[in-house]
Amino acid sequence: MAAPPTRHHVMERVRAIVTAIAGPHRTPVEVGPATALIEGFWLDSIALLEVVIACEEEFGITFDSDADLTADALRTIESLVDVILTRVAVTRAT
């Protein structure tokens, strides 16, 4: 079994996913862990769904739509990373 992804790796991959989906016209000049997904990248509900699906595919996880995909979890890159790391740990434990 491969080692779990590091926080840094997950952060970089999520940043890349969100930036690719947002595109150059909606990506802020400076992107960091605290960059807001909706207000910072101007992601609408469809783009946010694309981010969720891309993250599931990237990390081999399935989000629980009620428990994982809350407004707080989808607020910033960092909050999404936190949910991904939790879901990866749960997936690895089963």
pLDDT at 1 over 70: no
pLDDT at 28 over 90: yes
Q: Rounded to an integer, what distance in angstroms lies between the CA atom of residue 36 and that of residue 61?
A: 22
CATH 1.10.1200.10 holds for 7-93: yes
Residue 83 · residue 63 · CB < 8 Å: yes
Instruction: Provide the 3-class DSSP secondary structure of residue 47.
Output: helix
pLDDT tens for each residue of 57-72: 999 999 999 999 999 9
What pLDDT, on a 0 to 100 scale, did the predictor assign at position 43? 96
Query: Model confidence at 25, in pLDDT bands (50, 70, 90)?
Result: very high
Q: Rounded to an integer, what distance in angstroms lies between the CA atom of residue 29 and that of residue 70?
A: 26
What pLDDT, on a 0 to 100 scale, did the predictor assign at position 93? 84
How many whole angstroms from its chain centre is CA 53?
9
Which amino acid makes up residue 55?
A: C
